[in-house]
Amino acid sequence: MKDATIRENLKVVEDTIAFACKESGRGGQEVTLIAVSKTKPVEMLQEAYAYGCRDFGENKVQELLDKYEQMPKDIRWHMIGHLQRNKVKYIVDKVYLIHSVDSLRLAEEINKEAVKKDVCVNILVEVNVANEETKFGIACEEVKQLVRDIAKLSNIRVKGLMTIAPFVENAEENRPIFSKLRKISVDIMKENIDNIDMEILSMGMTGDYAVAVAEGATCVRVGTGIFGLRQYMP
Ligand SMILES: *Cc1c(COP(=O)(O)O)cnc(C)c1O
């Protein structure tokens, strides 16, 4: 992919976010664009960085660490993929936000390592709103209790919720998923639990981020729309 393409793609995504904000009466600065750079070479991340991206999303611990070493230190790294407990120790002091916490056991492991390194880790609770069998994330009915349990851990701050919506042809089909996640977050906010913020709603990917923004996303995670299609090694 040529230099100009990432720049042009970023412009399209940023304009689309701004438009969706305007249409729905929101201020554009409320939405953080996370450039999902998984599988992409560091050179492409550097280009995106040069055009102003400071939030990058990765879904594998080793890849995140490799890129962390090679990229500037003012980047906010987002762990957006399923996280195994035995790998938590490598990233707790390097990530800005972990989007994919879906069990108390994982939260406890993050807390344990955060205490060791004397850091406080910001996390989101991943919700499987669409109830897809193939997806990680906790069921809607269990979110409140999980949040209450995590709230008791000393070195974790719950900042909000995340969901991965199904792959659909028409993004509108995901609108009820996004509005449901927002509704759950509003319900939790009303409980005023100590240590719990519900300021972040991480939802929307290349195919549906405009709809997610219209439904209140504060973070969108866009990969293909910025870097082009991913090629996975066989
Ligand atoms: C890969 C990935 C994305 C980005 O997907 P695109 O469709 O390429 O924008 C967003 N969120 C998560 C959790 C992902 O794994």
- How much is the pLDDT for 28? 65
Q: What is the pTM of this model?
A: 0.96
Instruction: Flag whether pLDDT at 233 surpasses 90.
Output: no
Averaged pLDDT, 82-100: 98
Closest ligand 1 atom to the C-alpha of 224?
8
Give me the percent of the chain exceeding a pLDDT of 90. 90
For ligand 1, the distance from its centroid to the CA atom of residue 121, given in whole angstroms, is 22
Higher pLDDT, 171 or 134: 171
Residue 230: which pLDDT band, with cuts at 50, 70 and 90?
Answer: confident
Q: Best substitution site from 17, 59, 99, 219 to test ligand 1's pocket, by max atoms within 8 Å of Cβ?
A: 59
> Residue 61 — φ and ψ, nearest 5°?
-60, -50
Q: Which parts of 47-164 are beta strand (E)?
A: 55-58, 76-79, 97-101, 121-126, 156-162
- How much is the pLDDT for 18? 95
- How much is the pLDDT for 223? 97
H or E element, residue 165: none
H or E element, residue 88: helix 88-91
Q: What is the pLDDT of residues 105-125, one digit of tens each?
A: 999 999 999 999 999 999 999
**Paired strand residues for 34:** 221
For ligand 1, the distance from its centroid to the CA atom of residue 57, given in whole angstroms, is 8
Q: Best substitution site from 205, 206, 226 to test ligand 1's pocket, by max atoms within 8 Å of Cβ?
A: 205
- How much is the pLDDT for 27? 76
Instruction: Round the average pLDDT of the chain to a whole number and report it.
Output: 95
Closest CA to 59 of 39, 73, 76: 39
- How much is the pLDDT for 44? 97
Pocket of ligand 1 (CB under 6 A): 36, 38, 59, 80-81, 164, 205-207, 221-225
For ligand 1, the distance from its centroid to the CA atom of residue 162, given in whole angstroms, is 12
Instruction: Name the CATH architecture for the domain at 2-226.
Output: Alpha-Beta Barrel (3.20)
Averaged pLDDT, 123-150: 94
Closest ligand 1 atom to the C-alpha of 164?
13
For ligand 1, the distance from its centroid to the CA atom of residue 28, given in whole angstroms, is 21
Q: Best substitution site from 80, 101, 177, 209 to test ligand 1's pocket, by max atoms within 8 Å of Cβ?
A: 80
Averaged pLDDT, 12-38: 92
- How much is the pLDDT for 133? 85
For ligand 1, the distance from its centroid to the CA atom of residue 203, given in whole angstroms, is 10
Q: Which residues neighbour 198 within 8 Å (Cβ) at sequence distance 6 or greater?
A: 159, 160, 161, 185, 186, 188, 189
- How much is the pLDDT for 234? 60
Residue for token pair 């109830």? 131
Instruction: Flag whether pLDDT at 1 surpasses 50.
Output: no
The alpha carbon torsion through 199, 204, 210, 213 (nearest 10 deg) reads -10
> Distance (Å, rounded) from C-alpha 209 to C-alpha 48?
19
